[in-house]
Chain A
Amino acid sequence: EDQVTQSPEALRLQEGESSSLNCSYTVSGLRGLFWYRQDPGKGPEFLFTLYSAGEEKEKERLKATLTKKESFLHITAPKPEDSATYLCAVPNNSGGYQKVTFGIGTKLQVIP
Protein backbone atom coordinates (compact mmCIF):
# COMPACT_ATOMS: atom_id res chain seq x y z
CA GLU A 1 0.00 0.00 0.00
CA ASP A 2 1.27 3.46 -0.90
CA GLN A 3 2.38 5.55 2.06
CA VAL A 4 3.18 9.23 2.30
CA THR A 5 4.88 10.72 5.37
CA GLN A 6 5.37 14.43 5.88
CA SER A 7 7.64 16.15 8.38
CA PRO A 8 7.57 18.17 10.44
CA GLU A 9 3.87 18.14 11.29
CA ALA A 10 4.09 21.80 12.29
CA LEU A 11 6.66 24.49 11.63
CA ARG A 12 6.85 28.01 12.97
CA LEU A 13 9.13 30.46 11.17
CA GLN A 14 9.97 34.11 11.53
CA GLU A 15 9.28 36.18 8.43
CA GLY A 16 12.29 35.86 6.15
CA GLU A 17 13.57 32.65 7.79
CA SER A 18 13.98 30.06 5.03
CA SER A 19 13.30 26.37 5.63
CA SER A 20 12.29 23.10 3.99
CA LEU A 21 9.39 20.69 4.34
CA ASN A 22 9.88 16.99 3.72
CA CYS A 23 7.68 14.40 2.05
CA SER A 24 8.86 10.80 1.97
CA TYR A 25 6.92 8.12 0.18
CA THR A 26 6.73 4.40 -0.32
CA VAL A 27 5.30 3.48 -3.71
CA SER A 28 6.15 0.72 -6.12
CA GLY A 29 6.85 2.65 -9.28
CA LEU A 30 6.63 6.39 -8.76
CA ARG A 31 4.56 8.09 -11.45
CA GLY A 32 4.68 11.57 -10.01
CA LEU A 33 4.16 13.63 -6.89
CA PHE A 34 1.91 16.60 -6.17
CA TRP A 35 2.22 19.48 -3.76
CA TYR A 36 -0.85 21.37 -2.57
CA ARG A 37 -1.45 24.29 -0.24
CA GLN A 38 -4.51 24.29 2.00
CA ASP A 39 -5.83 27.26 3.95
CA PRO A 40 -8.11 26.64 6.96
CA GLY A 41 -11.66 25.73 5.96
CA LYS A 42 -10.82 25.59 2.24
CA GLY A 43 -10.04 22.94 -0.34
CA PRO A 44 -6.43 22.19 -1.32
CA GLU A 45 -4.93 24.48 -3.94
CA PHE A 46 -2.66 22.87 -6.52
CA LEU A 47 0.97 24.02 -6.49
CA PHE A 48 3.25 21.61 -8.39
CA THR A 49 3.51 18.30 -10.17
CA LEU A 50 6.92 16.59 -10.19
CA TYR A 51 7.21 13.73 -12.63
CA SER A 52 10.64 12.21 -12.09
CA ALA A 53 13.63 12.19 -9.77
CA GLY A 54 15.84 15.21 -10.25
CA GLU A 55 13.02 17.47 -11.34
CA GLU A 56 12.59 20.90 -9.71
CA LYS A 57 9.79 23.46 -9.99
CA GLU A 58 9.48 26.97 -8.61
CA LYS A 59 6.68 29.37 -7.88
CA GLU A 60 7.38 32.67 -6.15
CA ARG A 61 9.06 31.79 -2.82
CA LEU A 62 8.44 28.05 -3.19
CA LYS A 63 10.67 25.45 -4.84
CA ALA A 64 9.83 21.76 -4.99
CA THR A 65 12.40 19.05 -5.63
CA LEU A 66 12.10 15.29 -6.06
CA THR A 67 14.44 12.37 -5.45
CA LYS A 68 13.75 8.66 -5.69
CA LYS A 69 12.66 8.50 -2.05
CA GLU A 70 11.45 11.94 -1.05
CA SER A 71 10.45 15.41 -2.05
CA PHE A 72 11.26 18.74 -0.47
CA LEU A 73 9.36 21.98 -0.54
CA HIS A 74 11.82 24.80 0.06
CA ILE A 75 10.43 28.11 1.26
CA THR A 76 12.74 31.07 0.76
CA ALA A 77 12.24 34.24 2.81
CA PRO A 78 8.65 33.36 3.75
CA LYS A 79 5.98 35.95 4.39
CA PRO A 80 2.98 35.70 6.75
CA GLU A 81 0.72 35.01 3.76
CA ASP A 82 2.62 31.76 3.20
CA SER A 83 1.06 30.43 6.40
CA ALA A 84 -0.98 27.35 5.46
CA THR A 85 -0.89 23.57 5.53
CA TYR A 86 1.22 22.08 2.74
CA LEU A 87 0.18 18.66 1.51
CA CYS A 88 2.04 16.25 -0.71
CA ALA A 89 0.37 13.39 -2.54
CA VAL A 90 1.25 10.49 -4.81
CA PRO A 91 -0.97 8.86 -7.42
CA ASN A 92 -1.78 5.19 -7.12
CA ASN A 93 0.58 3.09 -9.20
CA SER A 94 -1.80 0.31 -10.13
CA GLY A 95 -2.12 1.17 -13.79
CA GLY A 96 -4.32 4.22 -13.46
CA TYR A 97 -4.39 7.62 -12.03
CA GLN A 98 -7.70 7.26 -10.31
CA LYS A 99 -6.59 7.42 -6.68
CA VAL A 100 -4.21 9.78 -4.92
CA THR A 101 -2.75 9.18 -1.46
CA PHE A 102 -2.17 12.31 0.60
CA GLY A 103 0.12 12.91 3.54
CA ILE A 104 -1.24 14.59 6.68
CA GLY A 105 0.49 17.82 5.78
CA THR A 106 2.88 20.29 7.39
CA LYS A 107 1.18 23.22 9.08
CA LEU A 108 3.36 26.27 8.47
CA GLN A 109 3.04 29.43 10.51
CA VAL A 110 5.07 32.48 9.48
CA ILE A 111 5.29 35.15 12.16
CA PRO A 112 5.79 38.81 11.20
Chain B
Amino acid sequence: DQQVKQNSPSLSVQEGRISILNCDYTNSMFDYFLWYKKYPAEGPTFLISISSIKDKNEDGRFTVFLNKSAKHLSLHIVPSQPGDSAVYFCAAFSQGAQKLVFGQGTRLTINP
Protein backbone atom coordinates (compact mmCIF):
# COMPACT_ATOMS: atom_id res chain seq x y z
CA ASP B 1 0.00 0.00 0.00
CA GLN B 2 1.91 3.05 -1.28
CA GLN B 3 -0.85 5.65 -1.24
CA VAL B 4 1.46 8.18 0.43
CA LYS B 5 5.12 8.25 -0.49
CA GLN B 6 8.08 10.15 0.80
CA ASN B 7 10.84 9.26 -1.60
CA SER B 8 13.72 10.79 0.34
CA PRO B 9 14.59 8.71 3.40
CA SER B 10 16.97 11.40 4.61
CA LEU B 11 17.87 15.04 4.10
CA SER B 12 20.76 17.07 5.47
CA VAL B 13 20.57 20.87 5.59
CA GLN B 14 22.80 23.60 6.94
CA GLU B 15 21.47 25.58 9.88
CA GLY B 16 19.77 28.77 8.71
CA ARG B 17 19.00 27.43 5.23
CA ILE B 18 15.68 26.20 3.91
CA SER B 19 14.62 22.58 4.38
CA ILE B 20 12.19 21.20 1.80
CA LEU B 21 10.52 17.86 2.46
CA ASN B 22 8.42 16.28 -0.25
CA CYS B 23 5.46 13.93 -0.29
CA ASP B 24 3.42 12.37 -3.11
CA TYR B 25 0.06 10.66 -2.94
CA THR B 26 -1.96 8.56 -5.30
CA ASN B 27 -5.45 8.50 -3.82
CA SER B 28 -7.53 11.40 -5.18
CA MET B 29 -10.04 10.90 -2.35
CA PHE B 30 -7.58 12.40 0.12
CA ASP B 31 -8.76 15.88 1.04
CA TYR B 32 -6.66 16.81 4.04
CA PHE B 33 -2.93 16.53 4.58
CA LEU B 34 -0.84 16.76 7.71
CA TRP B 35 2.82 16.86 8.62
CA TYR B 36 4.05 15.27 11.82
CA LYS B 37 7.45 15.48 13.42
CA LYS B 38 8.84 12.59 15.42
CA TYR B 39 11.76 12.39 17.80
CA PRO B 40 13.17 9.00 18.85
CA ALA B 41 11.15 7.26 21.58
CA GLU B 42 8.31 9.79 21.25
CA GLY B 43 5.01 9.81 19.42
CA PRO B 44 4.39 11.84 16.26
CA THR B 45 3.79 15.52 17.03
CA PHE B 46 1.38 17.45 14.83
CA LEU B 47 3.13 20.24 12.97
CA ILE B 48 0.96 21.76 10.26
CA SER B 49 -1.89 20.77 7.97
CA ILE B 50 -3.61 21.81 4.77
CA SER B 51 -7.02 21.25 3.29
CA SER B 52 -7.34 20.30 -0.36
CA ILE B 53 -9.23 23.53 -1.03
CA LYS B 54 -6.05 25.50 -0.34
CA ASP B 55 -2.64 25.47 -1.96
CA LYS B 56 -0.62 26.97 0.87
CA ASN B 57 -0.70 27.16 4.64
CA GLU B 58 1.84 28.95 6.75
CA ASP B 59 2.63 28.80 10.46
CA GLY B 60 5.74 30.63 11.57
CA ARG B 61 8.79 28.99 10.04
CA PHE B 62 6.70 26.19 8.53
CA THR B 63 4.84 26.37 5.23
CA VAL B 64 3.05 23.55 3.48
CA PHE B 65 2.33 23.73 -0.24
CA LEU B 66 -0.19 21.52 -2.01
CA ASN B 67 -0.27 20.86 -5.74
CA LYS B 68 -3.45 18.87 -6.30
CA SER B 69 -2.95 18.31 -10.01
CA ALA B 70 0.45 16.76 -9.35
CA LYS B 71 -0.75 15.04 -6.15
CA HIS B 72 2.26 16.50 -4.41
CA LEU B 73 2.83 18.40 -1.20
CA SER B 74 5.90 19.85 0.38
CA LEU B 75 6.92 21.20 3.76
CA HIS B 76 9.27 24.18 3.85
CA ILE B 77 11.13 25.06 7.02
CA VAL B 78 12.94 28.37 7.00
CA PRO B 79 15.25 29.11 8.62
CA SER B 80 16.19 25.59 9.68
CA GLN B 81 17.32 25.17 13.28
CA PRO B 82 19.18 22.30 15.02
CA GLY B 83 16.03 21.47 16.99
CA ASP B 84 14.29 20.68 13.69
CA SER B 85 16.38 17.52 13.38
CA ALA B 86 13.80 14.71 13.51
CA VAL B 87 11.84 12.34 11.30
CA TYR B 88 9.05 14.08 9.40
CA PHE B 89 5.96 12.17 8.33
CA CYS B 90 3.47 13.23 5.73
CA ALA B 91 -0.05 11.90 6.37
CA ALA B 92 -3.26 12.05 4.37
CA PHE B 93 -6.88 11.82 5.35
CA SER B 94 -10.20 11.52 3.57
CA GLN B 95 -13.50 12.59 5.09
CA GLY B 96 -15.04 9.29 4.13
CA ALA B 97 -12.61 7.42 6.38
CA GLN B 98 -11.29 8.34 9.76
CA LYS B 99 -7.76 7.04 9.47
CA LEU B 100 -4.51 8.75 8.67
CA VAL B 101 -2.38 7.18 5.95
CA PHE B 102 1.29 7.85 6.55
CA GLY B 103 4.33 8.10 4.34
CA GLN B 104 7.55 6.34 5.24
CA GLY B 105 9.10 9.43 6.79
CA THR B 106 12.14 11.57 6.00
CA ARG B 107 14.93 11.96 8.52
CA LEU B 108 15.98 15.62 8.56
CA THR B 109 19.36 16.53 9.98
CA ILE B 110 20.25 20.16 10.52
CA ASN B 111 23.98 20.73 10.60
CA PRO B 112 25.41 23.63 12.61
Do these two chains interact? no
Residues of A within 8 A of B (CB): none
